[in-house]
Amino acid sequence: MFAKLGARVNVHQSIAPAVHYLQKPVQLFRTYDRANLRPDLIAALTVTVILLPQSIAFALIAELPPQMGLYAAIVGSIVGGLWGSSDQMHTGPANALSLLIASSLTAVVAVGTPEYAIAAGLMAAMAGVFQLGLGLVRLGMLVNFVSHSVIVGFASGAGILIAIKQLHPLLGLASAGSGTIGTLTSVVAEFIHLNTPTAMIGIGTMLLIIIMQRISSRLPAALLVMVLASLVVYLFGLDKQNVAVIGQLPATLPPLANLPFFNLDLISKLSAGALAVGAIGLVQAAAITRSIAAQTGQRLDSNQEFVGQGVANIFMGLFSGYAGAGSFSRSAVNYKAGAKTSMASIFSGVFMVIAMFTLAPLAAYLPISALSGVLIVTAYGMIDRAEISRIWRSHPGDAAIMVITLVGTLFLAIEFAVLMGIIFSLALFIWRTSTPRIQAVLPDENFSHFIYRPDKEPCPQLSIIEVYGDLYFGAVNYVEEFITDYAEAHPDQRYLLLRLDHVNTCDFSGIHMLESLVRSYREQGGDVFMVGTNYRVEQMMLSSQFDSFLGADHILNEDEAIGKIFHQELDPAVCIYECPIRAFRECQNLPKRIDLADIPLMGDIEADHILTVEARELWQWLNPGSVSNGDKPYVVDVREPREYNQGHIAEARLVPLPKILAEEVKLPADKQIVLVCRSGRRSRRAASALQHIGCMNVQILQGGMLAWASAGLLEAVEF
Question: Is 677 known to be catalytic?
Answer: yes
* C-alpha torsion 172→175→178→179, nearest 10: -10
Partnered with residue 699 across adjacent β-strands are: 611, 674
Given 459, 506, 575, 677, the catalytic residue:
677
- How many CB atoms lie under 10 A from the CB of residue 96? 27
Distances (CA, A) of 255 to 93, 214, 320: 17, 40, 6
Q: What's the count of helices (H) and strands (E) in the chain, helices before strands?
A: 30, 16
171-179, Cβ contacts within 8 angstroms, sequence gap of 24 or more: 171/195, 171/198, 171/199, 171/202, 171/369, 172/196, 172/197, 172/198, 172/199, 172/202, 172/242, 172/243, 172/244, 172/369, 179/411
182-191, Cβ contacts within 8 angstroms, sequence gap of 24 or more: none
Cβ distance 283 to 42 under 8 Å?
no
Partnered with residue 613 across adjacent β-strands are: 701
CA-derived radius of gyration, the chain: 39
H or E segment to which residue 637 belongs? strand 634-637
Partnered with residue 718 across adjacent β-strands are: 648
Cα–Cα dist 37/29, whole Å: 12
Cα–Cα dist 234/247, whole Å: 12
Among candidate residues 556, 569, 563, the one with its CA nearest the CA of residue 679: 569
Question: Who contacts 266 (Cβ-Cβ below 8 Å, separation ≥6)?
Answer: 108, 119, 122, 260
Residue 545's identity, in one-letter code, is: Q
Dihedral pair phi/psi, residue 648, rounded to 5°: -155, 170
* C-alpha torsion 569→572→574→577, nearest 10: 180
Among candidate residues 101, 124, 54, the one with its CA nearest the CA of residue 352: 54
How many degrees, rounded to 5, is the angle at CA 266 between CA 264 and CA 267? 60
Rounded (to 5) percent helix, strand, coil in the chain: 60, 10, 30
Among candidate residues 683, 573, 526, the one with its CA nearest the CA of residue 618: 683
Cβ distance 89 to 296 under 8 Å?
no
Cβ distance 149 to 391 under 8 Å?
yes
- How many CB atoms lie under 10 A from the CB of residue 568? 11
Cα–Cα dist 587/459, whole Å: 10
Partnered with residue 698 across adjacent β-strands are: 673
Cα–Cα dist 677/638, whole Å: 6
Active site residues: 677
